């Protein structure tokens, strides 16, 4: 991101946290940034668009940090997930005053574009939780995984709200590890009592709520994480090539489909092969 644009974003966040969103004017932001109004309107059409840019910027920063932890293959899936959750807690705490203003002044409903972006964040967050839990508990079915995701997401959210909104003094650095330790018992309970939602219903829900290519990306990344854990050089090489293709803008989906076909031929697990075939068919029909 352009450094001047980033400068506006950081100053605006500080002002919103200090004065509130509605009482902070564009003039206030311009003066705090020591730049002209012309510069402001070069980057943002309005104060509302600036808020959307704030969300995009910090979401992308968080995503980048989380992916850096994913690269550390010396850590177990559980330890990686614990570190990533801790990073989330720390980011929320670093911006707690801004988040309080968001809640108090109902800034979350300032535009349809922001509403859609927040829906996207929620969907991706749920998918990310599911992917990480799948690595920790690869034997779980989709419906069991969904139950575990809802439970972990709910507990995490409530601790964050207690710390940030209510100001409760909790040793937050201990929370991620404690929650993931509790997940072992919760997963045992889910397996014993059964999941609440039917697997077919969940698949329909996922299909309905995610655009095709986003859905394929999420499914592929989940398969690739499993593939890479098998330490098979050929599979690893194909998996990495797919990952590189998914980072391209725009993604060349026919190339991805061809790589999926190669992965499909090389993989041994019948269930994963079937899953890959379904993904490839989605891209080529």
What are the start-end ranges of the E strands in 7-123?
Answer: none
Q: What is the pTM of this model?
A: 0.68
Alpha-carbon Rg for the chain in angstroms: 21
Dist. CA 110–CA 257, nearest whole Å? 39
Kindly state whether residues 238 and 188 are assigned to the same domain: no
In a domain, 20, yes or no: no
Q: How far apart are CA 187 and CA 174, in angstroms?
A: 20
Other C-beta atoms closer than 10 Å to the C-beta of 132 total 24
Q: Which structural domain, as residue segments, surrounds residue 100? A: 51-200
SS (H, E, C) 20-40: CCCCCCHHHHHHHHCCCHHHH
CB 183 within 8 A of CB 152: yes
| Residue pLDDT tens, the chain, 285 long | 678 888 999 999 899 888 888 888 999 999 999 999 998 888 888 888 888 888 888 888 888 888 888 888 889 999 999 999 999 999 888 888 888 877 776 655 667 777 777 877 887 888 889 889 989 998 888 888 889 999 999 999 999 888 888 888 889 999 999 999 999 999 999 998 887 777 666 655 555 555 555 666 666 666 666 665 555 777 778 877 887 887 776 778 788 888 888 888 887 777 777 778 877 776 765
User: Do 172 and 225 belong together in one domain?
Assistant: no
Residues 6+ apart with CB under 8 A from 149: 126, 129, 130, 133
User: Do residues 226 and 180 both lie within one domain?
Assistant: no
Whether the Cβ atoms of residue 275 and residue 219 lie closer than 8 Å to each other = yes
| CATH for 162 | 1.10.357
- Same domain, residue pair 217 and 196: no
């Amino acid at each position: 991101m352009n450094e001047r644009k980033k400068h506006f974003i950081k100053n605006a966040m500080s002002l919103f946290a200090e004065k509130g969103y509605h009482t902070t004017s564009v003039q206030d932001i311009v003066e705090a940034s020591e730049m002209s109004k012309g510069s402001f309107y070069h980057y943002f059409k309005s104060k509302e668009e600036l808020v959307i840019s704030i969300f995009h910027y910090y979401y992308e920063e968080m995503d980048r940090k989380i992916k850096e932890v994913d690269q550390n293959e010396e850590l177990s899936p559980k330890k990686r997930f614990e570190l990533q959750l801790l990073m989330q807690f720390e980011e929320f705490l670093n911006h707690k005053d801004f988040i309080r203003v968001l809640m108090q002044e109902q800034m979350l409903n300032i535009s349809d574009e922001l509403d859609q972006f927040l829906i996207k964040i929620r969907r991706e967050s749920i998918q990310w939780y599911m992917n990480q839990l799948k690595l920790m508990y690869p034997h779980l079915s989709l419906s069991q995984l969904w139950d575990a995701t809802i439970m972990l997401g709910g507990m995490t959210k409530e601790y964050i709200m207690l710390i940030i909104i209510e100001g409760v003094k909790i040793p937050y650095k201990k929370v991620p590890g404690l929650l993931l330790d509790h997940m072992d018992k919760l997963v045992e309970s889910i397996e014993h009592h059964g999941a609440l939602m039917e697997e077919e219903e969940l698949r329909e829900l996922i299909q309905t709520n995610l655009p095709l290519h986003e859905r394929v990306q999420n499914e592929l990344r989940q398969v690739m994480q499993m593939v890479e854990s098998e330490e098979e050089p050929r599979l690893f090489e194909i998996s990495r090539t797919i990952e590189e293709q998914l980072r391209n803008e725009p993604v060349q989906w026919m190339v991805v489909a061809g790589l999926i076909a190669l992965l499909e031929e090389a993989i041994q697990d019948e269930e994963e092969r079937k899953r890959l075939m379904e993904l490839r068919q989605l891209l080529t029909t």
